[in-house]
Structures are given as C-alpha cells and as structure tokens.
Structure 1
Amino acid sequence: MVTKQQDILGTPAAEMRASGIKVTAIPRVSAATPTALKAAINSQSPMIFSGLTDTWPARTTWNPSSLRQMHGARQITALMNLPTKGVLFSQDQRNFEQTMPFSEFLDVMDKTTNAAPCYLAYKRVDEIFDPSDYDFEAILGATTADGDTRVWIGSAGTRSMLHSDLKDNLFCQIWGRKSVTLLPWSQSRAAYPFRDNLVNSQLDLAEVDLAKYPRLRSAEFMHSTVLPGDILYIPRGCWHDIRSQTPSISINHWFGASQSLGEYLRLLLMLGPKYWFSTVRDFIFHGLLKHSQKTLFFFSPPSTGRRLYDALRWGNFSKENDPSKQ
C-alpha cells in the first residue's frame, strides 16, 4: 500500500512552497517487501519503504551510546563547524577536517546546535562496522561487484546539497531523522548545475531565488522525511538534497549500472554555450594537459571536462568518481 506523509515544518519544502514551487510527497510503501522495492527499481521510481531493515543489528546497536562503547577509542577524521547557509561546493573541505577519537566526535555531535554542524560523512562502512550489522543482499536479492556502501553520522543541521549520483541508491535511515528533497533527472535544467560540474547544483533549496533561477517555477520537486527503519530508493541521476533534522546515523548503498555518457552530453547540449566553454577548457587543462584540480568541498567529483576526457581516453566517464574503485 502506498501512502503519503506530511512534511515537517521548517524543512526546505516549506520555503519552496511559500515561493510558489510545486512540491509533492515522496510515495511511501507501508507494507514493504523486497518485491515492491525491485518493482520501484525497475520503474526508476523514487519511493520510501518501511520495515525492510527491522532485522538488521545496526537498528539496535548504531546509536551514540553503543558506538561510544564499541568504537569510542577509534581515531576518525570528521568535518566540524560546517557552514549553515549557501552552497557547500564553493569551499575546500580540508578547511573543516579534524581528527579526534570517535567518542569525542559523538559528544560534540550530541551537544552541537544547527549553527555549527559536524559530520562524519562518506565513510566506507566496513572501516568501522561489521558487515553482519546490515544486509543489502537480502533486500536486493544479490549484490553486485560494482556496488559501494557508505555511512553518514552527524549532528542536526548537516546538509548534502542538491546533487545527482551516477548509480541507483538505497538510502537507509538507522537513527534520527532527515529531510529529503528530490528532483527527477528529466528536469535537470531546473537544478542549475555548476558550469564546470553537471552533478552539483548551484541551488540552496532553503533559500530559493526565483528571479535568479526562473526555471524553478515549472519544476516539480518531491519531499519527505525519512525516519528510523526507512529505506529511500533514489534512482540514478535523480537530484537529491538531504538534511538532518536531528542527530542522525544513515547508511547508503550505490549499485547497478551507471548513467550513460550520452545522458550527460544531452544535458550539456541543452544547457548552452557557457557550459560548453567550461567543458572544453577543463578537457584541455585537466585532461590533455593533466593540470591538477582543486579539491572543493563536499566530496566533489572531477569537472565535466575531465570526466569527458576520461570517457574518451579510458572508456569510463566516472573513472575518478566511482566509489567502488576508491
């Protein structure tokens, strides 16, 4: 049974609706089964499934109290005192990195406010946790060699700004609550990608400017809150913005075939000459001439021009941005 969920006030959806942007709820399946999930994957339809992770040990042991006991002495490198406004992509992530015992990070995570979020993000899950704590094979039926699983642990106020991924994604909420906003790949022009990077958006959905970004007027977003035990299926290419409403622990799993180079070339063609110039520039400087690129904040992939070079040279558009190869 598919149901609708009311959004919690204070999420980006409230600001977007107030500006006149269309936002609907992400469909939610209350009686979830692996079969229903596979149907959503086959149709590339975003959907929230509840109950599929109920038997995972992670659901009972991945909380701050247990993590302090089991992993508190482990040294981790986390992102601290993160900005709370604007698009994170414009800053070097190393400016925010601090190394500390896991227990110290958990203490900060518990006490910090939305004004200075902290995040242990994009961490390979098997570097901390036992693989028996979670089981994607039972949900998907089989794992693939090109899959990859990451864990995300942070305070209220953390933000993964609007971006798209090359592969299908199962986003699982373990503890705490997050707000998720989606935009279909078919409406990518309304995401206003950066000129040099087609997978990252210039938009901060909590502070939208329709005069500056008029294509938002005709866009159709989806939004809901994910709760402990929820799995959100995000189809490959679907733009997503994820924000913590409370201290939170999540795990995600990328899997399956990647989006094609052709899809990105069609988007590039639609976006116009300014994007073409940036792509050609980066193809030459960062591809042919192999000049290094700045590592910009938030786990940013290589520029579109460099990725196009990799596709033509190596046959792999995501050569340096394939999590399973890192």
Structure 2
Amino acid sequence: MRTDMEWQTRASGRSGIGTGALGLGCWAIGGEWSAPDGSPLGWGRVDDEESVAAIRRALELGVRFFDTADVYGAGHSERVLGKALAGRRDEAVIATKWGNLFDERTRTMDGADRSPGYAREALIASLRRLGTDRIDLFQLHLGDTPLDEAAELREACEGFVAEGLIRAYGWSTDDPERAALFAEGEHCAAVQHACNVLEDAPGMLSLGEERGLLGIIRSPLAMGLLAGPRGAGRRARAGDIRSAPPAWLHWFEAGGVPSAPWAARVEAIREVLTSDGRTLAQGAIGWLWARSGRTVPIPGFRTVAQVEENAGALGHGPLSPALLKEIADLLA
C-alpha cells in the first residue's frame, strides 16, 4: 500500500484548481432519463438517499472532485449532488457540463444548443440546481462542436470567469484539435475525454501534458466492464443505457451483455490488474495514473460500497512500469 501522498497532487497551473488524483462521475446517480424515442440514457433506478450518503462518504475518504452534467437525469444529478454538499460546499470541487437540451418534467433529452446565450442560461440553471454561487469547472458537453462556434463559447466562458460565476472551464471531447482550441483560453483548465486500459488515448494524454491541462478521464472502467466479476454473462437492468447500447457503447451487446471480444481482453489482463491486493477496478484506475500524472479518473457510482472500493485505489497508487509493460504485452 502507498503511504506517500505527493503523487496524488493534481492542479491546473492556469486556474489553481486542485482536484486530487481521483474524482467521482455523477452520471449514474441521475437515475432514469431517456431520449425522445424512449431509449434509456441513464443507468436505471437509484436511491437518492444512498447517493447522498455515498457522496458524503467520498468526502470522508478524501475524494473531493465531483463531475456531473445538467442533462444527467434531466437535472436530477445536479440536484442530488447539491443536496449532498449542502453545508460542505467548500470541501468539494464541482464540475458540470452544458450544451444538451432536456425537459426536467418528462426527464427526456432532446437536441442541443451551442449558442453563447444558452451557455449563460444553462450556467445559471446549474448554479440553482447545485445550490452554489460558483462552479469550479464548467465544461462544454458537445464534443463535435465546430471550431468557430467553440471559439465563441470559449470567450463566453472567459466572461463567466470574470463575473465570478465559474473558476475555470474545459471541453468534454475526444478530439485533440478541439481540445487545443479551448486550451488557448487563459482559464481553460481541463479536457475531459475517454480513456481506459482497454482503449488508450495517447493523443489526448499528450495534449494534456503539453498544455498543462488536467485530464478528466471518463469511462475509466469501460462503463463497468472493468469493475465486474469474472465472466460475461451478466445483463443490464431495464432503464440502463447498457441494456440498449448506442453505437458508441461498443463494449456491450443488446441486453447489456459484455461483448465477448472485450470481455476476453479483460480476462487477459485481470491477473495483472488485481496484483498486489487490488480489485479489478482499482487496478484499472492505477493504470490510468501510471499513464499520466495529470489524469483524474471519474468512475461512476451508485452506492457507498462502490465509492469505498474506488477510493481504495488511492491506497495502492499507480501501477508500476513493469506492470504497465506486462499489460501492454498481453493486449498486443
């Protein structure tokens, strides 16, 4: 177990925001919500009181970075996070995202708005749902926004910083060119992108290193594939996006069953990831820390037990270079 703490330091030199090495992704605690055609966009039903308890347990364990989005649960995730942090706001670093349109009453998402005017409208609404006077990291949620429109949104975010409504901003995108455009802004502090031991993102990680950006890592556990028990026979529950996976969610087949080729890759590296007393999830998180000292994985959660397991990765730290090489050889 690691006893030194220095490796856990994560900060953006541009904003001074310190997140720590691990955050939590708040998509799942939004509960059920859907696309206009009824296909699920959430992770199924949740217990809000359990979600609140899990967030407060995270604070006790030293996890202080919470990443949500206004659209998660059609506003519900932000409301739950705000409730959990009531009276403890200064202990947390809050990140949220904007750009998608949704209806809180019907809990559906429908369309997007890339205008600077809507960015302000979404920001004010998020502040209200979160019960706070500022957001630490405000992120564009539309990864394919054209560069000219993104430049306008970057300048809008600079204005929000000047007003004291946000401390810094970033973009949730897997495109290095787009992330680099936002990084030209004085107060751009982070880029959020997908990365995990099954699917590396060297271009995005390199950009973060070069530009001094925090790498907020979504899908660090491949939507649960790197957190589950041995075998590929489990199925997702109704209301879970994995039960009817969209094209980008290629780790799962219809019904939420893990795709056989991806499940086989997990089994190939399971023994290495679980070495030194780690769980599979803790090993996958440790791999990300070993890939870059600027990564902040944000695994999802629905229970106190999941938070405790994820936070347990801090006690183990990054994988060693030898383990990193062994995994690369196995996956090659």
Give the TM-score of the pair, scaled to structure 2: 0.27
Name which structure has the greater RCO, CA cutoff 8 Å, separation 6+.
1
Quick check: which one's helix share is greater?
Answer: 2
Quick check: which one's strand share is greater?
Answer: 1
Give the TM-score of the pair, scaled to structure 1: 0.27
